[in-house]
Structure 1
């Protein structure tokens, strides 16, 4: 049995704006990461840095379907897939799925933490794309190593 982390949220923006908000590091650094070595593009690898962690995270095996889906690997045991669906009111349904971990006690903790993390990603993206608000700013200072 494989574990999955999931999150879904509707964003009141057209699909092309939501897609660009995910693949474009100039947008994503406003609500999710602090640095990126480049745009998410099929076949390319990039490095992400988060403001609350000293580590850098390689993003590999990127696959892009414009205005439809983004998938990548940042944990060798999982694949992240973000799918976008245009809704009749010109908003976008965003679904995140990260899966591949084997069922065990340590990975149960992982699925809970990552589900919360993807919910945070979606809420931060919604706040930024709809209202220009940066929810992550200062939110995770407590996690920095002293």
Structure 2
């Protein structure tokens, strides 16, 4: 049974909304702060493969809806959960809110996935902020899961 629990991470990125939105749909940008490889740009109705080569992980990402500069609705992971990316124009930049929901885990397994998703999406937003605002790839995902 699906839980009604969701994870939310958010960050103000001091760049225009169109630049921030593009960073999440265009793998040429996203690979500088999140996954290392993608089969293509996010497009509504498509399924894209994301890879994290540093830890041998892959995930199919189903893109359910895209509203330019506002919303990206996806489903991915194993088992698959919903992940929405919301973009809100603010006076000082763009607020990005990532929500993950639709968990089927229970008890300790649910706590583990909530912890992992909260930390993971916070790390993604931190990396995005550093890259878009300062042009720095902090290699946060790679260093969070070092191979040796």
- Is the structural similarity TM-score above 0.5? yes
TM-score, normalization by structure 2? 0.89
Residue of structure 2 equivalent to 1:111:
114
Q: Which of 113, 133, 136 is the matching residue for 1:130?
A: 133
> Within 1, Cα distance between the matches of 2:101 and 2:33?
23
Number of positions where the alignment pairs a residue of Structure 1 with one of Structure 2: 143
Pairwise CA RMSD: 1.6
Are 1:71 and 2:73 matched, yes or no? yes
3-state SS of 2:143 partner: coil
Change in 2 beyond 3 A, CA 1:47/1:77: closer
1:49 alignment partner, one of 7, 30, 51: 51
**Higher alpha-carbon deviation: 41-50 or 70-79:** 70-79
Structure 1 unmatched runs, 5+: none
What are the Cα deviations for residues 87-131 of structure 1, in whole angstroms up to 9, with x where unaligned?
A: 123x00000000011442211111011100000000000000000
Deviations 1:60-82 (A, max 9, x none): 14321100011111124410001
TM-score normalised per structure 1: 0.90
Kindly indicate whether the alpha-carbon contact (under 8 Å) linking 1:43 and 1:61 is maintained by their aligned counterparts in 2: yes
CA distance in 1, matches of 2:53, 2:16: 28
1:22 and 1:3 map into 2 onto residues whose CA distance is 24
Q: Provide runs of 4+ in structure 1 moved above 3 Å.
A: none
